[in-house]
Amino acid sequence: MAFFQKVTHEASAENPVNKVVELPVSSIVPNPAQPRVIFDDYELSRLAVSIQQNGILQPLTVRRLDNSLTYELIAGERRLRACKLLNMSYVPCIIITASVKDSAVLAVLENLQRADLSFMEEAYAIKNLIDYYGLTQEETAARLGTAQSTIANKLRLLKLTDDEKALVVKYKLTERQARALLRLDSDKRPDAIHYIGSNQLNTAQTDAYVESLLSCKPQKPKVQRRWNFRAVNLYINTFNKTIDAMKEAGINCETVRNRTEDFVEYVVKIPLKQSG
């Protein structure tokens, strides 16, 4: 087990920058630019069990505030929350030197690079960076290492109303599907979201559906129906009754039926001339 330098409130004011140290959990405050707003309780519990059994494999990243013994969290929000569930007093951290603006950018970057933020959380995080720290879209794109058009597309999602955003999350629509909805007037969006989500349209089907609404000739795209075994049995029974009706009518048809685990095979021979 690794042992780290422990920093307490009674310790000296020395700042062990870029070293792994143990800090009191009570001395770490949240990052105001933290983009994650959804924390799954089950996943946090699983992480807490893992930390309890194996320890924290990756130290948290923090920055020191105003020469005090208070530290602002930059990376490791989920780990910190899991440690609090375990009532841990100290957690391993790496202290770095960062400005307020750099801390915010790093907090957003750390979450974006994990690729498990929802696209709505990403959009809000980018907007907060721009609004709070006075960045342009170009500056934000450069700091986050992405294209300006990507930033613009994500910010466009915030034009949806709060109710529409909630429906998008409820039906688990993709980012591209959510952007397609922006082409519609606001009065058409809720019904469109319900239809797209209820019928589980893919991206191409969503684009076609939105296009049909825009053309004022709503033509709902063909939706692939789910496999229904009860319906298949109904068709088989109907087919059997048809064969029985043919025999009752005097048509001497020959039928060979073969059923396996994967399919039912029929071979039917219907005479074109009346026998003998």
**Which residues are the active-site residues?**
77
CA–CA distances in Å: residue 235 to residues 33, 151, 209, 239, 240: 59, 52, 31, 6, 9
Helix, strand, or coil (residue 258): strand
Going 171 to 176 to 178 to 184, the CA torsion angle's sign is negative
Beta-ladder partners of 259 = 264
Q: In whole angstroms, give the CA distance from residue 272 to residue 14.
A: 101
Residue type, 90: Y
Q: In whole angstroms, give the CA distance from residue 64 to residue 71.
A: 4
Nearest to 197 by CA among 187, 209, 211: 209
Q: In whole angstroms, give the CA distance from residue 90 to residue 87.
A: 9
Q: In whole angstroms, give the CA distance from residue 23 to residue 80.
A: 11
Q: 137-144 vs 148-156: helix axis angle to the nearest 10?
A: 110
